[in-house]
Chain A
């Protein structure tokens, strides 16, 4: 299709409108059943998917969370920005842990064939395990921590699920370092430390950042599962609580928030990544 002026803005808006329209079309609405005199006997929901709140209902139920984003009315009743902030804090910790553990493992994999042969199979086995499987184990591991068990278990889950892209991309990056650069280090007889910091790490950075970006995506994905199961305040915890409270509008509010935040995080990481790729 031919591109036109402002298509970058108009087409995405069109897409959003289409989806909103579709959502509105299939969602349910309230209908009152009346008796012969026109008195309301009972209210029920009708429509293609009666339980699905409509766009308007979602907005009406969510506006207080959006318009007072930092309000704190109770442990599980806070503005959406506040919930997001809690979630981000937890993700940041788990994600930091993932990078701290994942990057050195990636370097070892990239540098040593023996290390690769030894640990690659186990990595390939652990990698596809779902966060929902890790979390119970995390809770068990930190059972003695009492009140903090939930937090520690969540951190453990985020770290172990999100570190793999960092591990694998770093390893690929180290293996892809041009022989020329390594020859420079060898010819100049750089020490191991100097080779690491002056050659290996700078040469691997673009790959590392690809890994970092993918890891952040996964860390954010895991947060919902972690908060749901531990009942921590945060976007995911809020989502689960509102499901139990039958406020389905807030499930949708949470989903949209999670998606937007994930999108923004990915964009930010892409910007950083592009900076390192341009060297």
Chain B
């Protein structure tokens, strides 16, 4: 089996006053080594939930995850996580933030070697001049660059990105997608990225995993993206398949995502906001709304 990371029957329920809320149910996915996968779905469907189970930050209620032949238990620096907000520690410089992780992973290396690793990755993401600046002196985009450098510098088995560019303006987002894909091309670290940006998913991924709406979200469809690599944005967008795939993704999000696989238990709470697009779905396939 060439499957490097296996998520099988992954389920997450949260206890609520109105009984357990099933957020993700029976989520199955096999990821090959060196693959770049995007996880796409409506806001609130449970993408971050899946990612944080992979990161070990949240315990699966059912099913399990195997990474590189080992069952995952808890968080660890063998997975590099890039959060939506860069999550830099504001009292440390960019360099120190990266070093915090590097010190953990390469504790056998000399201090000088470790400093070299941190400097290298910060330079690659374009922060060679800002090594010793604090996050408050960096722009939003530069902070996320540090976040990316921190994740790659760990030489992790897997890279987990949760809407890493969601908070950036589109120009900066394009720049950072380029930085990310360049680093990924050099290191070929197996990656799972959560996004709700269709074009971002198409530009970066080998496969796009579409999740159905919650509650009890699961894998809806998997779309293969085989634009040649190394990719260049213009070439990708002019590829004959580009608009076909894009259309397919949008179709999924607008219509097929709302289909219910199993009878859904009541939503976790009345305040859980329904996905924005839900109202546009044809009535015949929309799940009956629970009286909240």
Residue B101, interface by CB 8 Å: yes
Chain A's nearest CB lies how many Å from the CB of B164?
Answer: 14
What separation, in Å, do the CA atoms of A34 and B87 have in the docked complex?
Answer: 84
- The answer to whether A180 and B100 touch across the interface, beta carbons within 8 angstroms, is no
The answer on a CB contact under 8 Å between A187 and B85 is: no
Contact of A186 among B57, B85, B90, B136 (CB under 8 A): B57
- Interface positions of A from 169 to 206, Cβ below 8 Å from B: 180-181, 183-184, 186-190, 198-199, 202-203, 205
CB-CB under 8 A for A188 and B83, given A198-B89, A199-B89: no
Judge whether B77 is part of the interface by a CB distance below 8 angstroms: yes
A279 at the interface (CB under 8 A from B): yes
* Residues A188 and B89 in contact, CB atoms below 8 Å apart: no
Contact of B104 among A180, A188, A203, A279 (CB under 8 A): A188
Q: Within 8 Å CB of A184, what residues of B?
A: 87, 89, 100
Residues of A within 8 A of B (CB): 180-181, 183-184, 186-190, 198-199, 202-203, 205, 279
The answer on a CB contact under 8 Å between B57 and A188 is no
Which residues does B use to contact A, with CB under 8 Å?
55-57, 75-77, 79, 81, 83, 85, 87, 89-92, 100-101, 104, 134, 136
Q: Which of B81, B91, B134 has the most CB of A within 10 A?
A: B91
Enumerate chain B residues within 8 angstroms of A181, measured Cβ to Cβ.
Answer: 87, 89
Complex CA gap A190/B91 in Å reads: 17
Q: A187-B55, A188-B101, A279-B90 are in contact. Are A180 and B75 (CB under 8 A)?
A: no
CB distance from A264 to the nearest CB of B (A): 28
Given A187-B57, A187-B79, A189-B77: A279 touches B87 (CB 8 Å cut-off): no
Q: How far is the CA of A188 from the CA of B56 in the complex (A)?
A: 11
- Contact partners of A188 in chain B: CB under 8 A: 77, 100-101, 104
One of A180, A198, A279 near B136 (C-beta < 8 A): A279
- Bound CA span A181–B85, Å: 11
C-alpha spacing A216/B92, complex, angstroms:
29
Set of chain A residues within 8 Å of B92, measured between Cβ atoms? 198
Given contacts A186-B75, A189-B75, A279-B136, 19 further A-B contacts (CB under 8 A): A180-B83, A180-B85, A181-B87, A181-B89, A183-B57, A183-B81, A183-B87, A184-B87, A184-B100, A186-B57, A187-B57, A188-B77, A189-B76, A198-B92, A198-B100, A199-B89, A203-B91, A205-B91, A279-B134
Chain A nearest Cβ from B85, distance in angstroms: 6
